[in-house]
Amino acid sequence: MNTLLLDAAVAADVAKAAELLQQGHLVAVPTETVYGLAADATQPQAVSQIFRAKGRPADHPLIVHLPDAAAISQWAQQIPASAFKLAEAFWPGPLTLLLHKAEHVDSCVTGGLDTIGLRVPAHPVLLDLLKSANLAVAAPSANLYKKLSPTSAAQVFQTMQGRIDAVLDGGDCEFGLESTIVSVLGDTVQVLRAGPISAEAISAVLGCPVETPEQHDVKVAGNVAAHYQPGTPLLCLDASHIKAFINKAPRKIALLALSPVTEFSADASLHWHVAMPQDAKGYGQALYKQLYLADQTGADVIIVEQPPAENAWLAIHNRLMRAAYQEV
C-alpha cells in the first residue's frame, strides 16, 4: 500500500483525507494530544482495519472522535448530567468520557464492551474536517501496539508507512500526551488514565470528589504495565543515581535531563542527551518526541531523569512508569 502524505494547510489535501475516510480507508490525523489512526466509526469494515494496521488485539476498545458535543446522544445512551457538564467545560479538548454505548454502535468499535469512549478533539483542522464531512472517527494513537504514541506526522509516517492509506500532517501536537479518560458510568466519577486535564479540574467542574484509582481492571490499553515503550531499554532515575550509573560501566547512554547535564558528566561520556523543559506542559509535549529521537541514536539504554513528584506531573509519571516496565 502506498501511504499518501497530505498537508493540513492545503484545502485539497484535507478534502482528500475526508474522502478517504468516507470511502472506508485509514488516515492518520493530527489531534491536540497525539496523532490518531482514524476510520469512519460507522463502517465496521474500516474500523477493523485499524486493529490490523496497529497489530492491536481486537478486544481493545477505540475512542470515537465527534464533531461536537451534540453528537454524544447519537453514540451513547443513559447519559448522566455529569457527562454534559464535563463536555461543556472541556470539549473540544483532551478529555475522553466513558459512557454506555448506543444500540447501533458496532461492537468492533468498543472491543465487545457495552461502553464507549467519546471525545471532541481540539485540533482545528481535524475538527473542521469532522464537522464539514459530518464524520465521527474511531481513532487510537497512530503507533504500533504498545509502542510510543506519535506527536508528529513524520513519526507516524516512519512506522505506519505502507500499512495505512494516508497521513494528514497538521504539525506537532500541542499536548503530546494522550487524553484524560474519565468514567462517568457508575455512582462515582473515576479518572482511568491521567492526562492533560487533571482530576482536580474535573472535580472543580462537577463540585464533587473524583477517584483516581491506581489499579483498575477496566480495559484501558494504557492500563497494561508495559506500554508507550521505545525499543531501547529505559530507566527512570533520580539525579544521584544517574551519576553513579554513568560512572559505573561503559554503556552508550541517551539522557533526558532536567538538571544541567554537567552535573552528571564532566566529559563527553554521554552518547546523546537533551535538556527537557522544566514545566510539566512543555515536558509532556516534548516527551514522546525526545524518546523517539533517543531511540534512534543507537544507545544501549535511555535514562530519564525523574521528574518532580507533583500533581501536575502525574500523567508524565504514569507514562514513564509504563515505558520503563520490563518483564522479569
Q: What are the residues binding ligand TXA (CB under 6 A)?
A: 31, 33-34, 36, 60-63, 94, 96, 98, 110, 113, 115-117, 139-141, 178-179, 181, 218-222
SS3 content of the chain, % helix, strand, coil (to 5): 35, 20, 45
Contact 155, 292 (CB under 8 A): yes
Least spacing, CB of residue 293 vs ligand TXA, in Å = 21
> 157 or 228: whose CB is closer to Mg ion?
228
Q: For residue 22, give every residue at least 6 positions away whose Cβ sits within 8 Å of its Cβ, in sequence order, or none.
A: 40, 133, 135
Contact 49, 26 (CB under 8 A): yes
Residue in the structure block whose three cell numbers are 525499543: 231
Determine phi and psi for 5, rounding to 5 degrees. Answer: -105, 115
# chain residues binding Mg ion, by CB under 5 A: 1
CA pair distance 231, 147, nearest whole angstrom: 8
Residue 49 grid cell: 482495519
Q: What does 117 bind: ligand TXA, Mg ion, none (CB cut-off 5 to 8 Å by kind)?
A: ligand TXA
Least spacing, CB of residue 128 vs Mg ion, in Å = 24
Least spacing, CB of residue 255 vs ligand TXA, in Å = 27
Least spacing, CB of residue 54 vs ligand TXA, in Å = 9
Least spacing, CB of residue 37 vs ligand TXA, in Å = 8
Residue in the structure block whose three cell numbers are 522544566: 278
Binding residues for Mg ion restricted to 107-146, rule: CB under 5 A: 141
Beta bridge partners of residue 234, listed in sequence order? 302
> 67 or 94: whose CB is closer to ligand TXA?
94
Q: Where are the alpha helices (DSSP H) in 3-117?
A: 11-22, 44-54, 72-75, 81-90
> 110 or 141: whose CB is closer to Mg ion?
141
> 175 or 313: whose CB is closer to ligand TXA?
175
CA distances for 288 relative to 74, 113, 149, 216, 312, angstroms: 34, 30, 7, 25, 17
Using CB atoms, what's the residue nearest to Mg ion? 141
Least spacing, CB of residue 31 vs ligand TXA, in Å = 5
Q: What does 93 bind: ligand TXA, Mg ion, none (CB cut-off 5 to 8 Å by kind)?
A: none
233: burial class by Cβ within 10 Å (0-12, 13-18, 19+)? Answer: middle
> 92 or 257: whose CB is closer to ligand TXA?
92
> 299 or 314: whose CB is closer to ligand TXA?
314
Least spacing, CB of residue 58 vs Mg ion, in Å = 15
Contact 236, 316 (CB under 8 A): no
> 93 or 307: whose CB is closer to ligand TXA?
93
The residue ranges that bind Mg ion (CB under 5 A) are: 141
